[in-house]
Structure 1
Amino acid sequence: MPTALAPLDQLPIRCLTADDLTACADLSEDRGWLREEHKWSLLLTAGTGYGIDDPAGKGLIATCVATSYGPGLAAIGMVLVAERYARRGVGRRLMLHVLDKAGDTPLTLHATPNGQPLYEQLGFIQTGRAEMVAGRFTTTDPAPDIPTRPATAEDLQAVLRLDAEIFGLDRTHMITRLPAFADQLRVSEVDGEITGFAAAWPNMETHVIGPLIARDTATAQALVASLATATDRPLRTDIDVRHESLLRWLKTNGLASIAFNAVMVRSLTALPGDWNRRFAPLTVAAG
């Protein structure tokens, strides 16, 4: 007789490793997402992945990644459940496990409309929204003439200081991975001072712009335009909807609205740092 499969609420939850990259990408594809292997590779090495294996031996049935920024914040992302196990409590069980592991650490995530009700039940509250825009960048409305250039190794400490000031926490372990992760990393510099930085990293057929950190909208525009000139791929980015001027400019220049996600937090009233100068996350999965 075949061995009976364990009930879903008894399936073990384990930590994921880089060896699970293909299985994670397979699960993304199962749910109609892009495989995003490049992004998965970053998240599995820089964060802590959790997963549930299919008792029938068919890969992963659920995943979640937590990216820690110390005791002040962790970002939750890549919460996925295989279509064949959807609406059976698997996602809730995995999230409860992640919440238990997080303890008193405040959490943040970007929620799709479908996922938001579950996160609200788990104590998350919405504090903002991000708009995903994508398309081929044009120069219908040129960017302000603010100098930008490729980042160098000598810029690293200044970039880290600026990022910690604006993000509100130290994310050295993520920012130092950008030169290898991204195809482009550029900085804006005025009178010898680094006033912003942005990366464009490959994601399937597109380049994703993120993070986008800048002292003002004009600087953010200059960074985006400089990144766009060096790629023939469509661009995609997730902009805090409070940056209305930047969103209008991006849409004038060929990008179109794709989706809205709720920015949510748990055990916080708002994200740390300065949202006025934080235009886009590195990735919505890691903040």
Structure 2
Amino acid sequence: MPLTHPSLDQLPIRRLTFDDLLACADLSEDRGWLREEHKWRLLLAAGVGYGIDDPAGKGLVTACVVTSYGPGPAGPGFAAIGMVLVAERYARRGVGRRLMRHVLAEAGDTPLSLHATRNGQPLYEELGFTEIGRAEMLKGRFTAAEPAPERTVRPATAEDLQQVLRLDHEIFGADRTHMITRLPAFADHLRVAEEHGEISGFGALWPNMDTHVIGPLIARDPATAQALVASLAAASDRPLRTDVDRTHTALVTWLKANGLEQIATNAVMARGLPELPGDGGRRFAPLTVAAG
């Protein structure tokens, strides 16, 4: 008798592990995304992955990662959903919706955020998410045609960690110690801006296929953010990529004047949150949109 497979709504949803790293990268590639194994490794280490196995033994049908953050100065923590992918051969068959409903049930009352593409946004709206902002994805070779303002920027040291964590907790608005403490190993460069002996901002430059991504980017003002970007860009021989909230018009304009171009826009969406916690005026770029 021929083999039969269970229907898609019967396939079990399971937690992903490091053993699923290549399957996650294969799923990204299947949908025309970059494989991004370095990023997947971080997300699977710092967050919780969910997926459905293909009954035909061809990897994953669908997957996503949820990264949770603890309480911050102004309220409870939240979780970010990212890397929501469905294999092309299973597209438009409801498996992505089913996986998201499972994630929402697991999250319970925890507030949630995500970055949505134009194609994904209707599903998230159906699931109770609302758009609270927009972000521009920028990419290009940094030219330094328009210099950054003068600021003291230097490589971060181990002694800076506690100040960086305090500043991040204040500005990000939630506790992401488990992400920030991974930056020295994850990033190729981690820089801090300093003023009067105090750290006024920090930024990381991490490898992603043929590019370097700038993120997170936390700074007291746009001038400090520009100085951090210029310092990080000088350390790279690759095209740069970053995601900047559209409200940061001065930084976006400056980046475009220095060779970066908009390649996409995403909706910043939330469920159970009127806006992201923390200080959006000093939070210039996420570590990655997948982690909020």
TM-score bin, normalised by smaller chain: over 0.9
Q: What's 1:218 paired with?
A: 223
Residue 172 of structure 2 is aligned to residue 187 of structure 1: no
Partner of 1:198: 203
Cα deviation for residue 2 of structure 1 reads: 2.0
Question: 3-state DSSP class of the match of 1:110?
Answer: strand
Tell me the residue number matched to 2:73.
none
Write the distance in 2 (CA, Å) between the matches of 1:69 and 1:165: 13
Whichever residue aligns with residue 79 of structure 1, its letter is V
Distance 1:121 1:2 in 2: 38
Task: Measure the CA separation in 2 of the matches of 1:274 and 1:88.
Answer: 39
Residues 102-150 of structure 1: CA deviation (Å, up to 9, x unaligned):
0000000000000000000000000000000000001110000101000
Shift of 1:231: 0.8
Partner Cα distance (1:254, 1:175) in 2:
28
Structure 2 residue 283 is the aligned partner of structure 1 residue 285: no
Paired amino acid for 1:210: G
**Which residue of structure 2 lines up, in the alignment, with residue 43 of structure 1?**
43
8 Å Cα contact 2:214-2:240 kept in structure 1: yes
The SS at the match of 2:291 is coil
Aligned to 1:118: 123
For 1:165, which of 163, 166, 170 is the aligned residue? 170
Unaligned segments of structure 1, at least 5 residues: none
The sequence identity of aligned pairs, in percent, is 77
Counterparts of 2:144 and 2:205, CA distance in 1: 18
Q: Distance in 2 between matches of 1:100 and 1:150?
A: 42
Classify the secondary structure of the residue corresponding to 2:289.
coil
What are the residue-to-residue correspondences of 1:1-287 with 2, within 5 Å? 1-70=1-70, 72-287=77-292
Could you report, residue by residue, the CA deviation over 1:177-209 in whole angstroms, capped at 9, with x for unpaired residues? 000000000000011000000000000000000
One-letter code of the match for 1:204?
M
Kindly indicate whether the alpha-carbon contact (under 8 Å) linking 2:77 and 2:175 is maintained by their aligned counterparts in 1. no
| Worse-matched range after superposition: 62-71 or 82-91 | 62-71
Structure 2 CA distance, aligned partners of 1:262 and 1:2? 45
Secondary structure of 1:285 counterpart: helix
Is the 2:219–2:284 Cα contact (8 Å) retained in structure 1?
Answer: yes
- The letter for the 1-side match of 2:154 is R
Using structure 1 for the length normalisation, give the TM-score.
0.99
SS where residue 279 of structure 1 aligns? strand
**Equivalent residue pairs, number:** 287
Indicate the RMSD between aligned Cα atoms, in angstroms.
0.5
Please give the TM-score of this superposition, normalised by the length of structure 2.
Answer: 0.98
1:218-240 CA-partner distances (Å, limit 9, x unpaired)? 00000000000011100000000
> What runs of 5+ residues in structure 2 fail to find an aligned partner?
71-75
Find the residue that maps to 2:265 and give its secondary structure: strand
Separation in structure 2 between the aligned mates of residue 272 and residue 247 of structure 1, nearest angstrom: 22
2-structure distance, mates of 1:176, 1:2: 52
Query: Deviation of residue 72 (structure 1)?
Result: 1.8
Deviation per CA, 1:244-267: give whole Å up to 9, x if none: 010000000000000000000001
| SS in structure 1 at match of 2:89 | helix
In 2, the alpha carbon distance for the partners of 1:29 and 1:236 equals 19
Shift of 1:18: 0.6
Which stretches of structure 1, 4 residues or longer, exceed 4 Å deviation after superposition? Answer: none
Equivalent position amino acid for 1:176 in 2: T
Within 1, Cα distance between the matches of 2:3 and 2:24? 26
CA distance in 2, matches of 1:269, 1:30: 35
Tell me, in whole angstroms, the C-alpha distance in 1 between the residues paired with 2:218 and 2:2: 56
